[in-house]
Amino acid sequence: MEVGPRHELRDDSVSSSPYVLPQRLRWRASIRRWLVGLAFILPALVLYGLVVLRPLVDAVRISFYNWDGFGPPTDYVGFDNYRKAVEDPLFWTSLKHNLLWIVISLPLGVGLGLLAAVLLAGQIRGRTILRTLYFLPVVQASAVIALAWRWIYSPEGPVTVGLDRSGFGFLTNDDGWIGNPTWSLPAVALASAWAGFGFTMVIFLAGIQSIDTALYDAAEVDGAGSWQRFRFVTLPGLRSVMTTVLVLGVIGSFLVFDLLYILTPNGGVIQSTQVLGTLLFYRAFSHNEFGYGAALSVVLMLIIFALSWIYLIVRERRD
């Protein structure tokens, strides 16, 4: 008969232990931690909402109006602006130029960045200075880079003069290399690849430094040369980094604007360098077609979102 009360006293002593918080106190502590975390991220959320989310919502809303940029938008046209984009030949030409930009600029930028990273990962003299020099164009203003390359491609510049003296003067005209409709887009893409390969180099360099040095030592013991170590150790170790660099390069190719706007205004000769970014700018701010420009920006956003979504799926499957 004493067993029952004895067990009840043991249960009561456990429930009243100071080390076991009541359910209500645990909920209060959890809510307090959540509020503290919210207080830390609230300024960033407010800034993100004002700078990113609100303009995004406004762009989508304006894309359904025929608006010239003056006064509130009132002429609702539904999906006419998107239908206009699909029926606009210049839209498809601009999209083709974006894809051509990827074909030209991405291999150059990735190749130069990987080559520089592999060379600077070794023990070479003056590698700190070389890293700084290679990364210097990344921190330069786009206007400075554009003006420098405008001089390089000018009729008096080294590229045009070199082509003339080498017997390839037919590639240029009186306006220099960027004045040729055939070569103007590759010329600007080359300048963009030169300006951005330093960033790619830094990413690859961080990836190379994260590879276990024991793999290189084992490969060297097995008699592998420099090319074999690069092919069978470095490249497999940079697989995830390479995926990230390629996706960022593709997204950046759809966001290109500043170099094209400065080097080849108004889309270049016979629209030879018109891309989606410059097209929506000219439609909105030069022709006061803000509704159509907003629709083009939404289309560009959807393209970038789709590419980012594909990248996340591929990365998760690999992980």
Residues 6 or more apart from 183 whose CB is under 8 A from it? 171, 172, 177
pLDDT of residue 21: 54
Q: What is the secondary structure of 236-290 as a DSSP string?
A: HHTHHHHHHHHHHHHHHHHS--HHHHHHSGGGSGGGTT--HHHHHHIIIIIS--H
pLDDT at 172: 66
Q: Which residues contact 179 (CB under 8 A, 6 or more apart)?
A: 172, 173, 269
Distance of CA 145 to the CA centre of its chain: 19
For residues 302 and 310, give the distance between their C-alpha atoms in angstroms, rounded to a whole number.
12
Is-contact 209 121, C-beta < 8 A? Answer: yes
Domain ranges in the chain are: 20-62, 84-318
pLDDT tens string, the chain, 319 residues long: the values are 444 444 444 444 444 445 455 777 778 778 888 888 888 888 898 999 898 889 899 999 999 999 888 888 888 998 999 999 999 999 999 999 999 999 999 999 999 999 999 988 877 787 888 888 888 888 888 889 988 998 888 888 887 788 778 877 666 666 667 877 888 899 899 999 999 899 999 999 999 988 888 888 888 888 888 888 888 888 888 888 888 898 888 888 998 998 999 988 888 888 889 999 999 999 988 888 999 999 999 999 999 888 888 877 877 776 6
Cα–Cα distances (Å) from 168 to 155, 161, 162, 303, 308, in that order, read 13, 10, 8, 38, 41
Query: In sequence order, which residues have a C-beta less than 8 Å from that of residue 133 and are 6 or more positions away?
Result: none
What does the pLDDT read at residue 1? 44
pLDDT in tens, 152-185: 888 888 877 887 788 776 666 666 678 778 888 9
What is the value of pTM for the model shown? 0.80
89-121 vs 184-209: helix crossing angle, rounded to 10? 40
- Read off the amino acid at residue 143: A
Determine the 3-state secondary structure of 118 from DSSP: helix
Give the model's pLDDT for residue 114: 93
Q: Write out the DSSP string of 151-167.
A: HHHSTTSHHHHHHHHTT
Name which of 145, 171, 118 is nearest 256 in CA terms.
145
Which CATH fold would you assign to the domain 84-318? MetI-like fold (1.10.3720)
Q: How many CA atoms lie within 13 A of 223 on its CB side?
A: 0
Could you give the CA distance from residue 162 to residue 47 in angstroms, rounded to a whole number? 51
Cα Rg of the chain (Å, integer)? 29
- Identify the pLDDT of residue 174: 65
Nearest residue to 245 (alpha-carbon basis) of 74, 138, 142, 107: 107
